[in-house]
A and B are shown apart, each in its own frame.
Chain A
């Protein structure tokens, strides 16, 4: 077992556990876009950021790829994380606004404006489809091509793949096309129609409805 400190709590987890799994195990929710339990970790969406290291000398890492280590100090809900995460969600909205998953994240983290020039890409290059095709479907029909801003998902040499069995696994797992909401109109990057999905509980009830500490919604509200 590995002993470490998670949000001030002394905990122990099995060797080989990632920080994301650890946090989830202890009931702490961390948002992700490129992670799926059945697939290998990739660390591309950067939403699952956590802060590791002692305060003052800490840095941000993606929790899905970071293994639990002896004596590690981890914080999952800090101002630094919230700032970076909100900026990332804003960037996601500016790139691919027609994904319900992303719109939901915007609601959850109260991102209510996009200050970047709006684009309407379909793909966020999270790589889930590529890993799905490879690891679960054993087909390896698609892959990531090119680098930097030119990166895209494609079949080898852009030819119709003979490996592809049209299983639809890639579509099933895609956060951009699996839950496609009607989305905002072209000129409006945000619809906020789903804002009622994640209400901070104390606004509705006398007592807190969850005993999670820290509560994601309350924590973020406090940091605004």
Chain B
């Protein structure tokens, strides 16, 4: 194509290219989207893609049917996932053996392979089309929707779905101040956690006078169980890149940096490719599309510190210093990277920008609540049937997310709590199921929106164990600079451990509360200030459970090892010996009658006997 070599000289060139790509696409509307994100890759989608290709080649249809190895399609639980277009027939848990049938029946004849269809775990109903599945039906997939139709490695694919159109519009039809104003009107708030209005952030940087400014994309996503940013970067890197360029134009930055954690090598590869391709097309670099605006993007790879997601620590890390936060002010707009005005935006925030510029702030504002507009991606994990990535309008209730989209609690369990906001967030009990999910509501409830991790817990989860898990995480990940955070977290963990061992006292519980609020008040950065949330929120809503541990030495969920014991009920036991054979601690012996008994002193409480017993004779108390 002529444009590809020469680079795009103007938005008109881009439109011409888009027209051609769309025409070419129109001729090949039959295609298969194979999910290539981590979850499905682990399930084996790589080999599925290869054998699909082989099979099509054998049958001579390679020219007519496209295979797209896409980003996350959402329903990670049922991987590998394939969607057959144009009908949008959804196949889950596809194996290599099914491929021939999929091509013969579905691709060539349009028939449905019944056994590969998604089956609702609660109602048992089968669904043919992706859009009918409750998991997708109740979502608003503004950002993730493009993953279905988009090969992340192909800039042509992105351009064909109106990619970089927003950039063209911003560069030629809008002044930087107008772009900032549009984002301000949209009420877009930072998706990384704190929810600061993006428009205001940009405005401050726009107004700052300096010869050089920076815009940084924060892709240092580290919350346990959260993978929204990774999936966005791997599924649609150009959307983030386009948002970054528009942001750079709006604030007057000539350099953009994507700070990404080293644990995301695939995302780094895809981003590098995206940057290369955009540079080749003249969408990045000098005089972008003839507008006179110069913008360069580089990638900076983190070294695995959770605290570097905090903006001032992130900037230190890019400068090559130890990733430690400093107290603000001066804010990054006054003294950022290399002491120049700097804006740091989250991946998801930037991905929203092209949508807002292209469709207008009004369109964006139509979803969401008054204070929290637009959609938010959550990674729905834990004891829920449909684990995966979900994109929902803000203001949706937790019940809708967990029970309608998530398909309810796994194995028919009972809902106990949902943890939002990662290690800095809190656990919300059943009474909050019907409250809307937005920045303010979650904060008032003692949790936070965070970057979008959502861990669902059932009755078999011990809340003290949860609090201890997050405290352990934070103890390792605190930078250790300020005393209140370093020592406070260690001591909170010490007390929580003591309670979990059954050696705690009510005085210690009070001390834990007191310490928690002191750490919250006196720490320097967001990590320390929110480190007490997992403890304080679990005490707030599950104080009885703490008291059970303290007063009755009992763990109601049967999790805390020191407080549980295993026994064998001789009525159900048929002396098969499986428990004796499998016990790793050799704690199960036969008594005189040949009846297995557990020697409590030797038992390591691992629960292997419970898992191996087929007769339900092992009891956990």
Contact = CB atoms under 8 A, between A and B. Distances in A.
Interface string B465-492: 0000000000111111111101111110
Contacts of A116: 491, 494, 511
Chain B interface size range: 35 or more
A147 B480 contact: yes
B486 A88 contact: no
Q: Interface majority SS on B: helix, strand, loop or mixed?
A: helix
A116 B489 CA distance: 13
Contact of B326 (A43, A45, A60, A151): A43
Nearest to A43: B327
Interface in A52-80: 59-62, 65-67, 69, 80
B523 interface: yes
A44 B481 contact: yes
Contacts of B611: none
Contacts of B100: none
A116 B480 CA distance: 19
B420 to A, nearest CB: 23
Nearest to A151: B480
Interface string B492-508: 00100000000000011
B320 interface: no
Interface string B513-549: 0110110011110000000000000000000000000
Contact of B480 (A84, A117, A149): A149
Nearest to B478: A148
A188 to B, nearest CB: 19
Contacts of A151: 479-481, 486
A46 B480 contact: no
Contacts of A44: 481-483
B480 A91 contact: no
Given A116-B491, A149-B490, A66 B475 contact: no
Contacts of B517: 83
A85 B518 CA distance: 8
A83 B511 CA distance: 12
B124 interface: no
A46 B317 CA distance: 23
Given A66-B329, A149-B490, A87 B515 contact: yes
B305 interface: yes
B330 interface: yes
A149 B305 CA distance: 14
A187 to B, nearest CB: 18
A43 B327 CA distance: 8
Given A60-B521, A84-B522, A148-B486, 4 more contacts: A45-B483, A69-B329, A117-B494, A150-B480
Interface of A: 42-46, 49, 59-62, 65-67, 69, 80, 83-85, 87-88, 91-92, 94-95, 115-117, 124-127, 144, 146-151
Interface of B: 305, 307, 322, 326-327, 329-330, 475-484, 486-491, 494, 507-508, 511, 514-515, 517-518, 521-524
Q: Which 7 A-B pairs have the closest CB atoms?
A: A151-B480, A87-B518, A65-B327, A84-B522, A148-B478, A84-B518, A46-B484
22 contacts: A43-B326, A43-B482, A43-B524, A44-B482, A45-B483, A46-B483, A49-B522, A59-B521, A65-B327, A67-B330, A69-B329, A88-B483, A88-B484, A94-B491, A116-B511, A125-B486, A147-B478, A147-B479, A149-B476, A149-B490, A150-B480, A151-B486
